[in-house]
Structure 1
Amino acid sequence: MAAQDERPSHPHQNLDRSVMAAMAQLTGGVSPHAVADAWTDWWLHMARAPGRQLELIEKAQQNTLRLMQHAAAEMTGKAQDAPFAPKANDTRWTHPDWAKPPFSQWQQGFLALQDWWDHATDDLRGLRHKSAERTGFMIRQMLDTVAPSNFPALNPGIIEKTLQTRGQNLTEGAAHLAADVVQTLTQAKRPIPEEFALGKHLACTPGKVVYRNDIMELIQYSPQTDLVHPEPVLIVPAWIMKYYILDLSPENSLIRHLVAQGFTVFCISWCNPTADQADLSLEDYRKRGVLAALDAINAIVPGRQVHANGYCLGGTMLAIAAASMARDGDDRLASVTLMAAQVDFIEAGELLLFLDESQVAFLEDMMWEQGYLDRPQMARTFAAIRAEDLIYTRAVRRYFLGIEDLPSDITVWNGDTTRMPARMHSEYLRGIFLENRITAGRFAVEGKVIALKDITAPMFVVATESDHIAPWRSVYKTQLFTDNDLTFVLTKGGHNGGILSEPGHKGRHYRISHRRAGAPYMGPDSWLKGHDPRPGSWWQEWTCWLEQNSGAQVAPPAMGARDKGYPALCDAPGTYIHQG
C-alpha cells in the first residue's frame, strides 16, 4: 500500500531517532518543534498587525466593562443574564451556586478571559490556519488548568461536599489520587470487574471462532432465528480498539441485534500487537484481515455476496478494500456500510491539530524505539480534545468530591486498551491522514491507484452529530467521492455513543437521506437544512435497508466449514480479545 518513500539513510541517523524517541517519552509524544512553530507563526503575525492589537485592546476593555457592570448589578440585586456563557460541552459550571456571588464573579472572570483568548487566536491575515487553531487549542489547555472550578476554595460544589462530609470527600479523593499515580507510573491495566467479565456479561453473543491468523480471529455468531437472510454480514472494527464496542451488554449489542433480525454475522477480532509485530503494514491488515475474512465467509456460506460493515478506522480500511476489489472486478460485496468512518481527511476535526510533518516524524521515532504506539498515548490526545470534561471535570469528581468512577460497559471497554504496530500506524498517519492520499487519487494498492468512485455496491454511511474523531461533515464527504446508490444517516451522539443507538434508547433521533447512483452532489449545510430529525434508532433503518438488499430467507449455514479448512476453533469471543 501507499507509504512514505523508502530512502537510504546514514547509520548515524539512528542516533537522531533515539534522541527524538527519548524526548517523545518525556513530552507524551507531542513534538516541541510543532508547538514552537505554531507559537512563532502566531506571534510574528500578531507583532506586525497593529490593527488587530488595537482590536484586542478594545476587546479587553469591553470584557472588563461587562464584568464590572455585572458585578455591580449583583451587588444591588439587579443582575440579569450573565454576560459570558460556558461553551456547549463545558459541564464544569452546573452547580447552582455558580450563578451567585462571589462564585459567579470568579466564573465570569474566567469565561471573559477565555472569550478574549478565543478572539486573540482567531484567524489573522497571513497566519496559517493550522497555527491559529493550534495556538488556540494550547491556550485553552493552559486556561483549563487555572479554571476556578479546579480549586477547592473556589468551587461551591467542593465546598458544599466538604461541609456535608466533614472532609471525608478529600480523604477519599487523596486515596483515589494515590491509586491513579501508582497506576500511571506502573502502566498496569486495571482488571475488568467481574460483573463485566468478557464472554459472560460483555461480548457474550454466542458464536464460534472459525478462523485465526496472527492478525485476527474471525467470529461467526450462532443463529437465533429459524431462517436467515442468505447474504452474511461481515463487521470490520477499528484496530485502535477492541471489537466488542459493537457487542457490549446484550441490550445495546449491535451484533446481537443483527443476529436477532435474522442475519448471519461474522466479526473480525484484531490482535493486540506486540513489539515483535512492529512490521505489520496496512496491506497486511487488508489482505490477511479483510480479504482473509471474506475468503473464510465464502467457504462457510458459498455462492453468496457479503454485506460488509466497517467502523471508524475499520471503515476506512473497508473502503480501501472495496475500491481495490471493484477495480479488480471482485464483486463479492453485496453492500458497504461505513459507521463514523472517514475516507477524506481534510476536515478531520481537532485531531488534525496534532499532525504535521514534525509531529508524525516524532511519533515515528517513538514507535521505532518501542515497536508500536500504545493506546494510552493515543488516549491522552483524545482526552485533550475535550479536556474540560474528560480531564478536569473527572479530576474534580474523583479527587475533590471523592466520587469513585462507577464502571459501565462502555468505560470498561474504553479502558481495555490496544496497541498499533509501528509500520502500519506510520503508513496510516502519513499516507491516509497527513497526505490524504485516498481521495487525492494517490493511494495505491498492489502498485495501482484506487478510486472510490469504482465502488458500485450500494452504501449506507452513518455519521454522528457530536463526533470529535470523525466529524460528521468529514464523513458526509463520502458522497463527494462516490457515484453509487448511497443512504446517509446523521444520528444523535458522539463517536461511540451515536453508534450505540439501540431501539428504545431514550432521546435518540437521526436524519436520513437517499442518493440515487449518479445524482448530483449536495453540500452538507444544504443537506442539514433539508432533512428534519426523526425520533428513534437508526439501527432499524439499517436493518430494513439490509433486508431490501438481501434475498429470500433460507436455513442458517453451518458453524464453520471443517472440510474446507475453517473448523470451529473455540467459543466466542475468542482469545485475542483477552490479550493485554
Structure 2
Amino acid sequence: MSNTKAEAGGAAPPPQFDPKMIEPFLVKNPEALSVNIARSLENLGKAASEWLQPRESGEKVDIVIEPVTDIVKTLSSVVEYWIKDPQRTLEAQTYLMSAYFNIWMQTLAATAGQSEKAAVAVRDDKRFSDPDWKATPFFDFLRQVYTVTADWVETLTAKAEGLDDHTRHKAQFYVRQLTSALSPANFVLTNPVLYKETVAQNGANLVEGMKKLAEDIKAGKGDLRIRQTDASKFKVGENMAVTPGKVIAENEICQIIQYEAATEEVLKRPLLICPPWINKFYVLDLNPQKSFIKWCVEQGHTVFVISWVNPDERHAEKDWVDYSRDGINFALDTITKATGEEKVNAIGYCVGGTLLAATLALHAREGDKRIKTATLFTTQVDFTHAGDLKVFADEAQLQNIEKMMEADGYLDGSKMALAFNMLRASELIWPYFVNNYLKGQDPMPFDLLYWNSDSTRMPKANHSYYLRNCYLDNTLAQGRMELAGQTLSLHDIKIPIYNLAAREDHIAPAKSVYIGSKLFGGEVTYVMSGSGHIAGVVNPPDKVKYQYWTDPSLDGEFEDWTKRAKETPGSWWPHWHGWILEHHSKTVPARRPGGDQLNPIEEAPGSYVRVRV
C-alpha cells in the first residue's frame, strides 16, 4: 500500500529509526562512568596543584597581562572596522546567518532521510576525517557550523581595511590560534570519536588522560609540556646522534666535534657546520638512516660541528659577538689545529646561518678569508617576509620577552618551543592534547618529535640582539647591523653561496630566503626543496622523497623564479655535493679527530648536547 501511495504522488514514509546508529553513544554503565569521572576530576585537581605550586612558592611568575592586552587590542581593531559601518555589519551577519540556515535545512533533510546535495560547501578538514563526523547528523551539524564560522572569521580578518601589515598579520595569527583551540574535535562531548571512546571505556580514558596532564605539568615545572612522542624510546648518543666522532675542543659557548673519516681519501677542505642554538645540532644526525652528517662523512668530507651550550644564568650576557668569536671563529681555529687547513667550507642552518652570514660580513671587513664557500639551510638574512614568527616581534612584545629573561638571564626553552608549536597548532598542539589527555593514550615514538621537544634556553643578550636586529629592525639586510665595532654589509661577502630554501617552510619562508639571496656580493645558487623547515633539509637520497627546484638566475621576483625553475625528483643532497666539488675537489689522506695537535676530550656527541631543561 505504501508503494502505491508513493507512486500516486503522496509523501514517502519517514525512514525507520535504526537504533544501531546511536548504540555506541549510549552509556552502558552509568555507575562506572560516574566513578571514573570522579577519579578524573581528582587527577585534574593534581594537575592544578602542579600548576599552582611553583607560582605560590614564587619559583615561577607569569607575565600574562601584556600578551592578553595585545590580543584584545589587535582583534578589537578588526571588530571596529566591521561594526563602525552598519551596512558592512549587516552584510557580514547576513552571510553567516544564511550559511547557518542552509546548514540547518541540510541537517533536517539528512535527518528525514532525504539525500539532497549539501546546500553549504564546507571544505574538508583532516580533523574531521572519521566517518562519524558526517554520518551522524548532530556531529555533522557541529562540523559544518564550526568550519563555516572559522572561515567567516578568517575572511573578516583578511578583508578588514585600515590595518597596517603587522597588525593584520597578528590578527590573522591570533584568529587561527582561537579557531584551532575551539574546534569541536578538541572536546569530548562534541567529538564523536572521543564520545564513543569515553562511553566504551566508561571514562577510564579520562582518568588516564588527567593523570598524564598532571605528569606533563610537573615535567614542565608548572607549565604544560605536551608530550609529542614516547621519550623513553630515545637516548642521545645511544640511538640518536651516533655518528662516530670526538669532541676535540670546548669553551663556555660550545664544543667542537670532529667526525671520524669513512673513506680513505677526504676532501682537502674541511666542512664546518654551524647549527642553530634555538635547537640542538643532532637534527642533522637523528639516526644513521637520516643523518646528513653521516652522509657527508661518507662522501669524503672531514666534518666539524659546533655543539652549542645549553645556557643558564652564567651566559646571560653572551651576545652575537661572543657566538661569532667563541663559536664560529673558535671552530675555525680548532679546524686549523686539527688539520692544518686554513680554507674551509661552511654550512649554517636557520639562525646558525644568519649568524654565519653576519660573521662572513664581519670577516670581509677584517680580512679573514678562511671560509671559501658558504651553504645556508633555510636561513633568513632579510626578515621583511619572515613568516608567522614575526607576529611576536614588535616593541611591546619584545619588551615583554626581555622582562621574562631579566630574572634568570635566559628565555626558558619551553617558551621558544611553544612559539614554534603555535605556528602549526592544529598539527603540533591540539592532536596531542586530544590523544594524550582525552583519549588517555601514549604518543607514538618519533625521533624528530623527540628532538623537537629537547628544547634549549636562549641567553638574554643573544636573544634580545637577534630579535631586535633581525625580526624588528632588519638591520642585517639594510646594511646597518653593528657587530664587534663594525657596520656590516652582506654585499661585502664575495664567496660562493649555496642558499637552500624549503617550499612549505613556515619559519624561513622560501620567498624570504630568495629575497635575501640578492643581497650577497658574489655568486649565489638558490635552491628550493620540497616540504618544510626540517623535512626539506633532512631528506636522505635513498628515501626518494620530495623534490627540489633549481634555476641559475635570480632575475625578477620570487614568483618569476618559481615559474622558470626546473623540478628534480628526490633529495637535493647530491646536487649540493656536486656544487661543493665544482669549487674545490682536491683530496688528501683521511684525517683522525684532533690530528697531532689536539687530544680528544670525549666521544661525540659530547656532553653539552645532553643537557636537558
Q: Scaled by the length of structure 2, what TM-score is found?
A: 0.84
Equivalent-residue separation in structure 1 for 2:69 and 2:453 (angstroms):
31
Question: Which of these residues, 258, 267, 272, is aligned with residue 229 of structure 1?
Answer: 267
Q: Deviations over 1:51-103 (max 9, x none)?
A: 532431342244234424543553411235961214xxx53112122222232
Secondary structure of 2:347's aligned partner: strand
Q: 1:26-41 residue pairs with structure 2 within 5 A?
A: 26-27=62-63, 31-41=67-77
Q: After TM superposition, give the deviation of residue 287 of structure 1 in Å.
A: 0.7
Equivalent-residue separation in structure 1 for 2:443 and 2:66 (angstroms):
28
Q: Is residue 471 of structure 1 aligned with residue 471 of structure 2? A: no
Q: What is the match of residue 536 of structure 1? A: 570
Q: After TM superposition, give the deviation of residue 223 of structure 1 in Å.
A: 0.2
Q: 1:314-463 residue pairs with structure 2 within 5 A?
A: 314-463=352-501
Change (3 A) 1:193 1:105: closer
Change (3 A) 1:455 1:409: same
Q: 1:176-575 residue pairs with structure 2 within 5 A?
A: 176-186=212-222, 193=231, 195-515=233-553, 521-563=555-597, 566-575=598-607
Q: 1:101-250 residue pairs with structure 2 within 5 A?
A: 101-162=137-198, 165=201, 167-186=203-222, 193=231, 195-250=233-288
Equivalent-residue separation in structure 2 for 1:69 and 1:540 (angstroms):
57
Secondary structure of 1:388's aligned partner: helix
Q: Deviations over 1:495-528 (max 9, x none)?
A: 112211111225422212224xxxx532111111
Q: Deviations over 1:413-452 (max 9, x none)?
A: 1222110111111111111211100011111223222111
Q: After TM superposition, give the deviation of residue 119 of structure 1 in Å.
A: 1.8
Secondary structure of 1:218's aligned partner: strand
Name the aligned partner's letter for residue 268 of structure 1.
I
Secondary structure of 2:594's aligned partner: coil
Secondary structure of 1:174's aligned partner: helix
Equivalent-residue separation in structure 1 for 2:501 and 2:156 (angstroms):
32
Q: Is residue 48 of structure 1 aligned with residue 84 of structure 2? A: yes
Secondary structure of 2:376's aligned partner: strand
Is contact 1:492–1:510 with CA below 8 Å preserved after alignment? yes
RCO higher in structure (CA 8 A, sep ≥6): 1
Q: After TM superposition, give the deviation of residue 375 of structure 1 in Å.
A: 1.2
Equivalent-residue separation in structure 1 for 2:127 and 2:110 (angstroms):
22
Q: After TM superposition, give the deviation of residue 40 of structure 1 in Å.
A: 4.2
Change (3 A) 1:192 1:399: closer
Name the aligned partner's letter for residue 116 of structure 2.
K
Secondary structure of 2:548's aligned partner: strand
Q: Is residue 67 of structure 1 aligned with residue 103 of structure 2? A: yes
Equivalent-residue separation in structure 1 for 2:234 and 2:272 (angstroms):
25
Larger mean CA deviation between 194-203 and 73-82 belongs to 73-82
Equivalent-residue separation in structure 1 for 2:527 and 2:260 (angstroms):
29
Q: After TM superposition, give the deviation of residue 273 of structure 1 in Å.
A: 0.8
Q: Deviations over 1:449-492 (max 9, x none)?
A: 21112212111111112222111111121222124222222222
Secondary structure of 2:499's aligned partner: strand
Equivalent-residue separation in structure 2 for 1:272 and 1:118 (angstroms):
39
Is contact 1:247–1:254 with CA below 8 Å preserved after alignment? yes
Secondary structure of 2:219's aligned partner: helix
Equivalent-residue separation in structure 2 for 1:302 and 1:324 (angstroms):
23
Larger mean CA deviation between 182-191 and 395-404 belongs to 182-191
Name the aligned partner's letter for residue 577 of structure 1.
V
Change (3 A) 1:554 1:29: farther
Is contact 2:501–2:510 with CA below 8 Å preserved after alignment? yes
- Unpaired runs of 5+ residues, structure 1, are 1-21
Q: What is the match of residue 18 of structure 1? A: none
Name the aligned partner's letter for residue 590 of structure 2.
P
Name the aligned partner's letter for residue 126 of structure 2.
T
Equivalent-residue separation in structure 2 for 1:304 and 1:431 (angstroms):
31
Is contact 1:502–1:539 with CA below 8 Å preserved after alignment? yes
**What is the percent sequence identity of the aligned residues?**
33
Equivalent-residue separation in structure 2 for 1:323 and 1:424 (angstroms):
18
Computing the radius of gyration over CA atoms, which structure comes out larger, 1 or 2? 2
Q: After TM superposition, give the deviation of residue 381 of structure 1 in Å.
A: 1.5
Secondary structure of 1:546's aligned partner: helix
Q: After TM superposition, give the deviation of residue 305 of structure 1 in Å.
A: 1.6
